[in-house]
Amino acid sequence: MDVSEPAVIRAMEAVPRKEFVPVELKASARDDRALPVACGQSISQPSVVAYMTEKLCLRPSSRVLEVGTGTGYQAAVLAELSRSVFSIERVPELAEAARERLDRLGYERIQLRVGDGTLGWPEQAPFDAIIVTAAADEIPEALPQQLVTGGRLIAPVGPEDGAQVLTLLVRTGSVEWTREKLWPVRFVPLITGGAP
């Protein structure tokens, strides 16, 4: 998963991953591998974060929706490249920790809320880009509808215990999208419904 976009490389360098991992794993923060975090979740490996980010083709004016805040690491990278980030986390404990962390690090362009990410954030739509950081059998139906024409959505698609692949949707018209399978991956499952 090569990344060549200079702005994405700069964004990755600007976000200190060690601030987003548990204290006992800070020594491993620079490793290119996923690491466990609270509530049975994980923080994606940096190469996957960079690759998914690059595929969104963000501009300084972009408005981005993230489904699955986790620790806030991906949101921070997105905020380095876009005008505003709207991030949804289902687990209140993770959302609160991410909010405190992002505030402490000065990320003011990120709005965060607790909710069912499969529904998107209709009142803030449309978005130039949507990124989903947990896997589902199919891309949730509501999300592509919240893209602008020309907008891009990237998500891992596949069962929890089977093959998953990063999938890129590009909205080409009011009811038209292109779909491209990009890369095999392994993500935690996307859970529907309200907060636990």
Strand, coil or helix: what is 71?
Answer: coil
Give the Cβ contact number of residue 143 at 10 Å: 22
E strands along 40-145, which residues?
42-43, 63-67, 84-89, 110-114, 127-132
Give the active site residues: 44
Token duo for residue 151: 């907008």
**Separation between Cα atoms, residue 37 and residue 84, nearest integer Å:** 25
Considering only CA atoms, give the Rg of the chain: 15
